[in-house]
Structure 1
Amino acid sequence: MADNVIRAPQALLVLSFGGPEGPEDVMPFLENVTRGRGVPRDRLEAVAEHYLHFGGVSPINALNRDIIAAVEGELAAAGLDLPVYFGNRNWHPLVEDTVARMAADGIGSALVFPTSAWGGYSGCLQYHEDITRARAAFGANAPELVKLRQYFDHPLLIEAFAEAIGAAREQLSVGRRAAARLVFTAHSVPVSADAAAGPPADGGKLYSRQVAEAARLCAAATGFTDYDLVWQSRSGPPQVPWLEPDIVDHLDDLAAQGVDAVVVCPVGFVSDHLEVIWDLDTEAAQKADELGMEFARAATPGTDPRFAKLVVELISEHMRAIEPDRLGAVPGYGCTRNGTPCAPGCCAIARRPGTGN
């Protein structure tokens, strides 16, 4: 990690996926997300309807601005004088424009906090590609950018999820709480992409292993001895295998087993992306209602004050070059400079899944 340490960074860049902020943004946004992938127009139109159901606005940009405001407060409290910039992969403010603004402001080096805690192509490597693309768009004098490490098992993240699980269980009828089933969800990816996630020496499946480890840690922190890990937000042709089971199918299975209450924790998501409020709060909740099953969804951690503290802890950890604060045993990878992958060959053959947040 030593070659990637910036001991005195001049700024922080919060790097995220992006999302539309009005009906007129929806199709251009989806075209950005799927460019070069040959996604049929009718598939884009189907996904567009999910956004239009909520007025054409994804919650992700507003939530990221809230996170940035909280991080600014935590940075000030920690005595760290770092302006915070915001850039996205797929919608405004685009990361290319943000990096150009940073350079115009005289920023020569910055740390990058990605709004993904994970390894794998979409969770990590694609953020490196964003950094490389943004620096190349500016040119030779682009700011030095160092992406902070994966943080899927950081104690503050686990604490925030655990408290949210407990709060969700309290939403259930008193008589159903004790036997309620805890179900964790994360964004599905193609099985081949998961197999390629992580350095070859690690044996692959880094993403699904990290998600499983985070779920284990959260369940232990909340006193659940039994739980399920399922997936959501699949997209792509049906002949391509993706991680399963899907949350909606799993609710059918639980109902057949006599389960009458579930607590669903979207452990794979930092914030309430469109995929959370559609796939869980809309489709999964409706399925549970049809099955006569009580359904409570745990909050994502981005709005929890501990999340901003986590960001500042990652910054301080990096600047002081100290050991990562981690709870889990599954590998996580460290800071990388100017788009260099986490490790040689890491996630190199994967393909980008998903159609948006």
Structure 2
Amino acid sequence: MPAREYDAILLTGFGGPEGQDDVIPFLRNVTAGRGIPDERLEEVAHHYRAFGGVSPINQQNRDLKAALEAEITARGLGLPVYWGNRNWDPYLADVLKDAHANGHTRLLALVTASFSSYSGCRQYREDLAKAIADAGLEGKIEVDKVRQYFDHPGFVNPNIDAVLGGLRELAAGRDGAADGDAAPHVMFATHSIPLSASDASGPREGLPDGTPVATGEAGGWYAEQQRAVARLIMAAVAQEFPEAQWSLVYQSRSGAPHMPWLEPDINDAIVALPESVTGLVISPIGFVSDHMEVKWDLDTEALETAAERGLAAVRVPTVGIDPAFVSGLIDLVEERHATADAPDGAERKSLSDLGPWQDVCPADCCLGRELRPVVAQAQALA
């Protein structure tokens, strides 16, 4: 899309509960219209209750908002940052009302999801459109969304640093064993989704130059983008850890048992690792910040599975508010934001052959409202 002037930034998140009393109302919001009884929602709620009913995601977004504001000030962009959620306070519609009351009519949304999928991209667009309507601001306010940024240096490089740090931590714990004896494995963990949804994810005609590209293994563009990032990371750590192997694994599978989902589950994959593996690094590549699925599915269940196998394991950080990630998000703003010094926007950065991704997706991209799993959505990105 051509660059244009914006007058504010909208940090757009999923939302999460911040106390025990919030948990069921939050899950009701997530599953609204699906007729899910509270008894079934409690099957997910116990994950939150184990942490006092608090998902870390809202505080992470408060911290990210502050970091974005500092980076915007440092670059002299003069754009205020608003923050709104799909499913919990602050709600998108309320935030848009505030922005409009403050005189802002053209916002650029930074979404806290980097890969192509229904819940990670298209649904955010739908929710933004609904929020504008719910706020009574149709024709009065515009909200555009930045592109998927899975292979932007601001996302990839902090993940390289995190995996490298995890491999070094494992090596330091091997009591001085020779590097040649080490056989570490890196598992890149992401949210599982139904195969029907993954196969519909992110269709596009080809590379930016028009070269046709097949998505290769199962999972559509959703999985292909994550494999591309994993390859970039492993190529970067290969000089120091040439023996390290890797795999893309999935977590948080739920919904109807008969529906095929992306596999393997991370716990099954840990159990199936060969005895020659000396240590495991778990990289939550599918997420930009810690939230309940990271804290429960990885820090609790996956690390317990590794311990039961007697395997040393390290879960490395999400990009969170890493300065490079924050800087990369503002790079995405500058791609789209026309200024006197850069009327056509800034350089579009990407590290893989797949990018830079399109600003606006095709009409048939990531179809899936009818494919959304019921309970998984109660956990997704929360």
TM-score bracket, shorter-length normalisation: over 0.9
**What CA distance in whole angstroms lies between the structure 2 residues aligned with 1:329 and 1:75?**
29
Residue matched to 2:54: 57
1:291/1:40 CA distance change after superposition, 3 Å? farther
Say which of 63, 66, 78 aligns to 2:63: 66
Residue 352 of structure 1 aligns with an amino acid whose one-letter code is R
Report deviation, 1:313: 0.7
Report deviation, 1:323: 4.5
Residue matched to 1:307: 325
Residue 328 of structure 1 pairs with residue 352 of structure 2: yes
> Is the 1:119–1:332 Cα contact (8 Å) retained in structure 2?
no
Report deviation, 1:348: 2.1
Report deviation, 1:235: 1.5
Q: Deviations over 1:59-97 (max 9, x none)?
A: 000001111111111000000101100000111101111
Residue matched to 2:174: 174
**What CA distance in whole angstroms lies between the structure 1 residues aligned with 2:118 and 2:10?**
20
Residue matched to 1:229: 248
Say which of 306, 309, 314 aligns to 1:291: 309
Q: Secondary structure at the match of 1:236?
A: coil
Say which of 160, 163, 166 aligns to 2:161: 163
Please list, as runs of the form range in 1=range in 2, the aligned pairs for 1:1-357 lying within 5 A after superposition. 1-2=1-2, 5-6=3-4, 8-39=5-36, 41-139=38-136, 140-172=138-170, 173-175=173-175, 178-199=182-203, 201=205, 205-223=220-238, 226-254=245-273, 256-319=274-337, 320-330=344-354, 333-336=357-360, 342-349=361-368, 351-353=371-373, 354=376, 355-356=378-379, 357=382
Report deviation, 1:142: 3.6
Residue matched to 1:339: none
Q: Secondary structure at the match of 1:14?
A: strand
Report deviation, 1:311: 1.1
Of 274-283 and 192-201, more deviation after overlay is shown by: 192-201
Q: Deviations over 1:295-349 (max 9, x none)?
A: 101100012111110111111122243442001122553334xxxxx11211124
Of 31-40 and 213-222, more deviation after overlay is shown by: 31-40
Q: Which runs of 5+ in 1 are unaligned?
A: 337-341
Identify, as 1 or 2, the structure richer in helix: 1
1:37/1:221 CA distance change after superposition, 3 Å? farther
Residue matched to 2:211: none
Residue 230 of structure 1 aligns with an amino acid whose one-letter code is V
1:200/1:316 CA distance change after superposition, 3 Å? closer
> Is the 2:154–2:326 Cα contact (8 Å) retained in structure 1?
no
Report deviation, 1:143: 1.6
> Is the 2:201–2:221 Cα contact (8 Å) retained in structure 1?
yes
Q: Secondary structure at the match of 2:87?
A: coil
What's the Cα RMSD here? 1.8
**What CA distance in whole angstroms lies between the structure 1 residues aligned with 2:34 and 2:221?**
24
1:24/1:142 CA distance change after superposition, 3 Å? farther
Report deviation, 1:212: 1.0
Residue 372 of structure 2 aligns with an amino acid whose one-letter code is R
Q: TM-score, normalised to structure 1's length?
A: 0.93
Q: TM-score, normalised to structure 2's length?
A: 0.87
Residue 267 of structure 2 aligns with an amino acid whose one-letter code is V
Identity %: 45
1:352/1:151 CA distance change after superposition, 3 Å? same
